[in-house]
Amino acid sequence: MTVTLMWEARAVPGRGADLLEWARAQRLPALPLRRETFTAAQDRVLVLTWWDAPEGAPLPELPEPPADLLTRPVHRWSFVSHGVADGAGEELLGDAPGRPDPGAARSS
């Protein structure tokens, strides 16, 4: 099962680059399957980490940044994946019925 942890923080105005640098420098005690960092308006930083773990399993999370960087406490949520699809809605991962065989030859 894939569990995704979401960590989102909002920096004090003008400190978004500092918060981004801080978040990117943080190391977790275990390596996730994937880690992706985003920025958004209002000096927000979002970090998503993907884990192969059962729902509710204890997983390492980024710590709270220094208080002088934040306008409010960090928001944290955990999500469970129920499949991955392309832009047309075709299932890419998982055991979806009718999913094309990735090893099948394609016609030109």
What average pLDDT does the structure give for the chain?
87
The pLDDT of residue 106 is above 60: no
Rounded mean pLDDT of 101-108?
40
Rounded to two decimals, what is the model's pTM?
Answer: 0.80
pLDDT digits (tens, 9 = 90+) for 59-102: 999 999 999 999 999 999 999 988 888 888 888 865 433 434 44
Per-residue tokens: 62: 């980024």
Domains of the chain: 2-79 (3.30.70)
Half-sphere exposure of 9 (CA within 13 A, CB side): 27
Return the number of other C-beta atoms located less than 10 Å from residue 19's C-beta.
Answer: 21
